[in-house]
């Protein structure tokens, strides 16, 4: 009894760093103080419990618009589980992706470097290797898969959390390094990977194979190449003619099985970091039949999509898009229930967001769904563009007992803020300088000043740069063609970015130019350089 009490007192003295006079030397004095000290032990224990780092689950949807969730105003698509997640935590109204398309958004997220510094600034399919767009050729030769890799030793979000004692996993779509290169997930800070290594392979949700760590896992699907059209003369109104596009092994279902297995395995170990990069609702339009039928009943009949704007045909394109979102929502609900059943929910931070705004191809109808919400979503303003519809994304954070239920934040944040934020969450001092600022205080409900600026550059779709400064948003297009004049929008009064006020505000434009001059660096990849800024 006496020895046990001594140990408890030693912990107490160390924990609270009491000065030397309190380190009593004589047994009788120690015993006199014992009741007082033991009475304080619950506070000591409570403080120790609070230092246990939480599990972190980061869910990244693919091409989900700002307005595609019920909690963000969606009226046609049902997302009760994600809405419940928002009700349990905090909704962000001014959160941004790091880029308007897949690979650079993921690079910014995982490295904490904005797209003026990031290794990956656009989608690069590394075409110098051969016929990389040939689906059958890729099946025969895995060296044709994947995108140009990030460098060996890149300090990623996964690596940072590994150093903080986390077991790390990524399930879903990678896109940052081809098989057999230094860029694969298990070389970049992740203990486990399952999913698509290659973005192009994700152009079917019934692929012939996925990857588990470094190896292919072959599925019970046929080799239906992306963009395959209906058979000649087939009746487009006959659902039976779409059978080629609905095979046996649905990749999002297999991925979710791996997620539940991972959570089960880690439930007794903790902490863990799960990066769930779901390919949903990126086209092609493929979803479980039960959900498609649900929305056919809800929306009624509609005209088929015949594949004329890329990807697969779809008998019920609107119903299928909604079905994909609701299926993802269903999985989110199942994951939350699993966390609760395992006793993990109370000590898990869940963040849900999207990699960019809604797409304009593959049979989707973003304007019909109002997928951009308060922002424009039609082609030229959604995915692929630095207008708000292309980069403003939903973001929800839930952490029981830490984040206030039903709270809403207008703090402006961006993907490159995630690394410093999760470093604080994990109690891990960052070993590198990032371009981001932690929004951890905002998560806990504390006041936090807005960033001086947010920065994007994107070398594709003509070449674009955007800078947000307070409510001002400066945008420049066609940089690959010599550049256009700056556009300037007041997002507070003009969220649709309809009224250019650049001529009336030359000082704001000058400030944007100064930020670009300071933040832009020339990319080693010639594909991602700007004639106007880099002289090439």
Distance CA 224, CA 246 (A): 10
Range of lowest pLDDT (9-18, 33-42, 149-158, 375-384): 9-18
**98 has pLDDT over 50:** yes
How many Cβ atoms from other residues are within 10 Å of residue 531's Cβ? 13
The pLDDT of residue 207 is: 97
Our measurement of the distance from residue 405's CA atom to the centroid of its chain's CA atoms, rounded to an integer in Å, reads 22
Mean pLDDT of 129-151: 95
Query: Average of pLDDT values for 96-114?
Result: 98
> Mind listing the pLDDT tens digit for each residue in 250-272?
999 999 999 999 999 998 887 99
Per cent of the chain over pLDDT 70 is 90
Query: What is the model's pLDDT at position 9?
Result: 39
Among 17-31, 120-134, 281-295, 345-359, which stretch is predicted with the lowest mean pLDDT?
A: 17-31
pLDDT at 112 over 60: yes
Average pLDDT of the chain, as a whole number = 91
What is the rounded distance in angstroms from the CA atom of residue 107 to the CA atom of residue 97? Answer: 11
Residue 28 has pLDDT above 60, yes or no: no
What pLDDT is stored for residue 22 in this prediction? Answer: 32
CA gap 464, 458 in Å, rounded = 5
For 64, the 3-state DSSP assignment is coil
| pLDDT band at residue 11 using 50, 70 and 90 as cut-offs | very low
Instruction: Return contacts of 437-441, CB within 8 angstroms, 24+ apart.
Output: 439/411, 439/413
3-state secondary structure of 477: coil
Question: Rounded distance, CA 94 to CA 524, Å?
Answer: 31
Is the predicted pLDDT of residue 417 greater than 70, yes or no? yes
* Residue 29, pLDDT score: 44
pLDDT confidence of residue 292: 98
Alpha carbon separation from 535 to 480, 482, 511, 522, 529 (Å, rounded): 11, 10, 22, 10, 9
Q: What is the dihedral of CA 474, 476, 477, 482, to 10 degrees?
A: 170
- Round to whole Å and give the CA distance between 411 and 448: 8
- The larger pLDDT score, comparing residue 25 to residue 323, is at 323
pLDDT value, residue 46: 45
State the pLDDT at residue 50. 52
308-320 pLDDT, tens digit per residue, is 999 999 999 999 9
Residue 105 binned pLDDT confidence (cut-offs 50, 70, 90): very high
Q: Which residue reads 């940052």 in tokens?
A: 176
Q: What is the mean pLDDT of residues 19-32?
A: 39
pLDDT at 7 over 50: no
Per-residue confidence (pLDDT) for residue 536, from 0 to 100: 64
What integer pLDDT is reported at residue 27 of this predicted model? 42
Task: Reduce the DSSP state of residue 228 to 3 states and report it.
Answer: coil
pTM of the model: 0.90
- CB 484 within 8 Å of CB 377: no
Express as a percent the part of the chain with pLDDT over 90: 86
| Tokens at 173, concatenated | 């779509």
């Amino acid at each position: 009894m006496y020895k046990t009490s001594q140990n408890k007192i030693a912990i107490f003295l160390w924990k609270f760093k009491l000065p030397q006079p309190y380190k009593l030397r004589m047994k009788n004095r120690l015993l006199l103080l014992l009741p007082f000290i033991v009475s304080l032990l619950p506070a000591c224990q409570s403080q120790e419990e609070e230092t246990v780092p939480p599990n972190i689950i980061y869910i990244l949807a693919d091409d989900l618009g700002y307005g595609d969730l019920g909690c963000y105003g969606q009226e046609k698509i049902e997302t009760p589980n994600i809405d419940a997640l928002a009700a349990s935590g905090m909704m962000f109204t001014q959160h941004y992706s790091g880029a308007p398309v897949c690979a650079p958004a993921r690079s910014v997220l995982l490295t904490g470097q904005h797209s003026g510094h990031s290794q990956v600034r656009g989608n690069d399919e590394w075409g110098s290797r051969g016929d990389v767009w040939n689906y059958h050729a890729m099946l025969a030769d895995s060296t044709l898969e994947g995108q140009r890799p990030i460098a060996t030793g890149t300090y990623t979000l996964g690596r940072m959390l590994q150093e903080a004692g986390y077991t790390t996993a990524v399930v879903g779509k990678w896109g940052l390094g081809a098989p057999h290169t230094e860029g694969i997930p298990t070389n970049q800070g992740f203990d486990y990977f399952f999913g698509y290594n290659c973005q192009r392979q994700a152009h079917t949700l019934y692929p012939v194979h996925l990857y588990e760590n470094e190896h292919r896992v072959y599925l019970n699907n046929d080799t239906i190449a992306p963009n395959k059209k209906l058979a000649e003369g087939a009746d487009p109104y006959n659902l039976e003619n779409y059978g080629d596009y609905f095979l046996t092994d649905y990749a999002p279902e297999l991925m979710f099985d791996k997620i539940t297995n991972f959570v089960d395995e880690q439930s007794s170990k903790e902490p863990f970091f799960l990066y769930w990069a779901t390919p949903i609702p990126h086209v092609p339009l493929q979803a479980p039949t039960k959900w498609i039928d649900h929305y056919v009943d809800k929306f009624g009949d509609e005209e088929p999509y015949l594949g004329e704007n890329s990807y697969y045909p779809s008998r019920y394109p609107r119903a299928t898009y909604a079905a994909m979102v609701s299926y993802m929502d269903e999985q989110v609900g199942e994951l939350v229930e699993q966390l609760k059943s395992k006793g993990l929910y109370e000590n898990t931070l869940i963040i849900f967001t999207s990699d960019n705004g809604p797409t304009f191809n593959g049979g989707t109808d973003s304007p019909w769904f109002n997928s951009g919400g308060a922002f424009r979503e039609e082609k030229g303003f959604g995915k692929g563009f630095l207008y708000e519809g292309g980069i403003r994304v939903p973001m929800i954070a839930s952490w029981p007992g830490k984040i206030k239920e039903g709270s809403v934040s207008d703090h402006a944040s961006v993907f490159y803020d995630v690394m410093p934020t999760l470093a604080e969450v994990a109690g891990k001092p960052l070993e590198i300088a990032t371009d981001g600022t932690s929004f951890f205080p905002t998560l806990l409900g504390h006041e936090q000043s807005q960033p001086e600026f947010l920065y994007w550059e994107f070398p594709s779709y003509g070449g674009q740069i955007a800078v947000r400064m307070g409510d001002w948003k400066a945008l420049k297009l066609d940089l690959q063609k010599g550049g256009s004049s700056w556009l300037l929008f007041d997002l507070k009064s003009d969220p649709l970015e309809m009224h250019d006020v650049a001529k009336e505000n030359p000082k704001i434009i000058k400030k944007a130019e100064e930020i670009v001059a300071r933040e832009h660096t020339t990319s080693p990849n010639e594909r991602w350089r700007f004639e106007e800024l880099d002289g090439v």
